[in-house]
Structure 1
Amino acid sequence: MTTAVALRVFLPFALGYFLSYLYRVVNAVIAPDLVADLGLDASTLGLLTAVFFLTFAAFQLPLGILLDHYGPRRVEAALLLFAAIGAVLFAIAPNTPVLIVARGLIGFGVSACLMAAFKAYVMWFPRERLALINGFQMMSGGLGALAATQPVELALGFTDWRGVFLILAGLTVVSAVMVYAVVPEHGGGRHPEAKISDTFAGVKEIFVSAQFWRVAPHCVMSQAVFTSVVSLWSGPWLRDVAGLQRDVVAHHLFWIAAAMIAGFLSWGLLAERLQRLFGVRPMTVAAVGMSGFMVVQATVAFELPVAHPSLTLMVWMAFGFFGTAGIVPFAALSQAFPAHLAGRVNTALNLLIFVMAFAAQWAVGLVIDLWPQTASGGYAPQGYQVAFAVMLALQVLALAWFVARRAVRI
């Protein structure tokens, strides 16, 4: 495989995932504008943002089948056009219900951006390189998260949030064209499962696998909490609990995204090197990283950054760095199943992650609304503390499950 071909495979999918993550995270920055324009309470803001994850998750199993049958190039290019339509609808939406529909359409449209890339990389790259190339793909998502922070805040000085989404719609169309026109066709893209029963037999094989269910709960809870907090509640927490002004919040979100980029690259590289040089299993690396993520969450839940304001940025950057360790299990599971099931393995895990991310993001808003708003119009710090503590407790249970089933090797 030449460098030119590798770049033709990687760069278009990287751009798609860049935009996917930008869409996912942008509400953390524009939340004050949405609240001011539409008068949203915490639970409605959570629902509006989280519906992205619901439609994203709902399409994961059909997506896996489509990826395994028709290849990642065609599937992602088509779906990105739906994301562009959703972005236009979001920009012109007159009320909250239309915004929710538009946000859901965006989630559906970008639902292939990570899984299509993972499928393409299984087809094109050696298995021992998957953790590394997956890390580079996730790094492109981190760049999208970074672009959704201070760059979006700067853009709001020239236009409003509606204008931002019109720009994103145009970029999404460009991304769709690039995926379709630049990514080369792979002769081994389809697997000869002619019957629909064979296709669903592959899905069943995954969901009855002891290997899958040893990994899934720990990975799902870690990534769901990470995704739901970074894509929305990190911004309001920095405003309401840490007491930071809007420009400082955008600055902190920028560095959280930068830490995510470092994390995506570091965990993938670390997993690849330790496996190749010392035979360390990728799930061992992932478990260590996700445990570190839980430690960082404990400091946030118990408001250590509030007691020591100088640590706020450091703690939240650690949140961004360790939260990315949950991506390593995708490479681990891809190596544990036949290559022709790669699309369905990844989308099965992604389905569970995004269903839980939807529930977690909305649930945090519901918990926060149990306390009255503060005199300044923000949300009560006690609500954040309870919500974050509950999410941490669920991850502790998932880790206990992973350790208890250590006899199942992966």
Structure 2
Amino acid sequence: MTDLSPPAPSRRAWAVWGVGLLAYVVAVMQRTSLGVAGVAAGERYDASASTLASLAVVQLLFYAGLQVPVGVLLDRFGSRRLIVTGAFVMALGQAVLALAEPVGLAVLGRLLVGVGDALTFISVLRLVPAWFPPRRVPVMTQVTGLVGQVGQVLSAVPLVALLGGPGWTVAFLSAAATGVVVAVLALAVVRNHPDPAVGPTRTGARDLVADLVTAWRHPGTRLGLWTHFTTQFPGTAFALLWGFPFLVAGQGVAPATASALLTLFVLAGVATGPWLGVLVQRHPFRRSWLVLGVIGVNVAGWTLVLAWPGAAPLPVLVLLVLAMSLGGPGSVIGFDFARTFNPPNRLGTATGIVNVGGFFASLVTILVVGVVLDLRTGGTSGYDLADFKVAMSGQYALWLLGVVGILSSRRKVRRRMAEAGVVVPPIRQALRRRRDRPR
């Protein structure tokens, strides 16, 4: 297959990627804005925990449900159109939320945010192999995914400040205005490929369905999905809705401290992402072991906090946040599985399949936590640490399901590789050598 990637990134490549990355940063800000406003939203709408969770669930439901259709659209229309459309739709959703009085309109606002968000991330990821040489793709993919999480800092600091000052309407209208600015920038700068002659694949509906089926049937795509499923949901559910209430109402920390912990969550992920990307680049045959290590750290962090008698001290909460920060970089490995096991013409479709995993698991986690809290408190907002400990324990079922999926898919991938004559070197040999031979 002909490699259409440039031999080295140009200034234009960095500009295109930079604006795409900015669009993703703002998308993450829009996505996580409800999480830092969870307490304020409960007061504004006089909402129970399950009602509050429904706002995030609707958002994630549309995000996760649209990933496969968006992947198909990405293969057909390219990144530029989807990034621009996504930014405008998210801006509209935030404007609706800013002005909404009844909770029904607030649900509509979050629905629009979920739809626009669904169009953004995999479209930005698609720019990386188009504009950068293959040897840089694993690290650049990690950098894209992790730097994008800076959007959580924008929601945890400036947005919280606006909520505490001018108030709800000004805060969310400001978020909407930011989305419009990003849409205009993306329209002006982003292009799908450095070669104008290389455009999206214009295929018929039958071919699109065939690509979807073929991508799903490959165990490498499913390995990516289960990787994303199992690594991402603890941090996403924490940042998107329940982290701030868990820290403030459950652990009893001050709102400023909770914002600082959420900021640390983002910055730690940004710091570790490129390092994990280098490991993926050097040891492509050991990617699943890196994933399982990330899952183990997440499980250990939550077990420590949930088993702690009473409220955990601040250093223990810091350890939890640092453990969860590895989930973002770990989930990006799922997209590397999609890239290496699928040809470019169905990369968007495969990436969309992978991206469903973590957000579906996050949706389930958010909903389960809200329902359990309501069952324990009778639908009031007076939940305490004991209630949160019971509710957060539901994560273990998802970890178990995800690990089983990873191990099953990995076994099938290795069988297919063996049939193709690909020899996986023993782990001792891989550790002695500086890097595995790339697939």
Is the contact between residue 9 and residue 132 of structure 2 (CA under 8 Å) also seen in structure 1?
no
One-letter amino acid of the counterpart of residue 269, structure 1: V
Change (3 A) 1:30 1:188: same
Q: Indicate whether 1:203 and 2:212 are aligned.
A: yes
1:101 aligns with one of 108, 128, 137: 108
Q: Residues of 2 paired with 1:240 and 1:346: CA distance?
A: 37
1:279-358 equivalent positions in 2, closer than 5 A? 280-303=285-308, 306-358=311-363
1:4-403 equivalent positions in 2, closer than 5 A? 4-186=11-193, 187-193=197-203, 195-272=204-281, 274-275=282-283, 280-303=285-308, 306-372=311-377, 378-403=382-407
Is the contact between residue 237 and residue 363 of structure 2 (CA under 8 Å) also seen in structure 1?
yes
Deviates more, 1:299-308 or 1:167-176: 299-308
Offset of residue 313 of structure 1: 2.1
Deviates more, 1:85-94 or 1:398-407: 398-407
Larger Rg: 2
Deviates more, 1:23-32 or 1:332-341: 23-32
Offset of residue 374 of structure 1: 11
Which string of whole-angstrom CA distances, capped at 9 and with x for unpartnered residues, describes residues 147-170 of structure 1?
A: 111222222343112211111111
Q: Residues of 2 paired with 1:312 and 1:131: CA distance?
A: 31
Offset of residue 395 of structure 1: 0.7
Offset of residue 218 of structure 1: 4.1
Q: Residues of 2 paired with 1:56 and 1:63: CA distance?
A: 10
TM superposition score normalised by structure 1: 0.91
Change (3 A) 1:4 1:51: same
Q: Residues of 1 paired with 2:218 and 2:349: CA distance?
A: 13
Q: Residues of 2 paired with 1:21 and 1:355: CA distance?
A: 17
Change (3 A) 1:203 1:235: same
Q: Residues of 1 paired with 2:142 and 2:310: CA distance?
A: 29
* Secondary structure of residue in 2 paired with 1:358: helix
Which string of whole-angstrom CA distances, capped at 9 and with x for unpartnered residues, describes residues 288-327 of structure 1?
A: 2233222222223324783444322232232223453122
Offset of residue 198 of structure 1: 0.5
Q: Residues of 1 paired with 2:314 and 2:38: CA distance?
A: 23
Q: Residues of 1 paired with 2:142 and 2:74: CA distance?
A: 20
Offset of residue 216 of structure 1: 2.4
Is the contact between residue 98 and residue 173 of structure 2 (CA under 8 Å) also seen in structure 1?
yes
* Secondary structure of residue in 1 paired with 2:320: helix
Q: Residues of 2 paired with 1:322 and 1:304: CA distance?
A: 26
Which string of whole-angstrom CA distances, capped at 9 and with x for unpartnered residues, describes residues 326-351 of structure 1?
A: 22111122111111111001111112
Offset of residue 240 of structure 1: 2.3
Offset of residue 192 of structure 1: 4.7
Deviates more, 1:137-146 or 1:252-261: 252-261
RMSD: 2.2
* Secondary structure of residue in 2 paired with 1:243: coil
* Secondary structure of residue in 1 paired with 2:149: helix
One-letter amino acid of the counterpart of residue 391, structure 2: A
One-letter amino acid of the counterpart of residue 363, structure 1: V
Change (3 A) 1:248 1:185: closer
Offset of residue 373 of structure 1: 7.1
Change (3 A) 1:252 1:227: same
* Secondary structure of residue in 2 paired with 1:189: coil
Change (3 A) 1:86 1:119: same
* Secondary structure of residue in 1 paired with 2:411: coil
TM superposition score normalised by structure 2: 0.86
Change (3 A) 1:264 1:81: same
Offset of residue 251 of structure 1: 2.1
Is the contact between residue 28 and residue 148 of structure 2 (CA under 8 Å) also seen in structure 1?
yes
Runs (4+) off by over 6 Å: none
Change (3 A) 1:309 1:136: closer
Deviates more, 1:308-317 or 1:168-177: 308-317
Deviates more, 1:319-328 or 1:359-368: 319-328
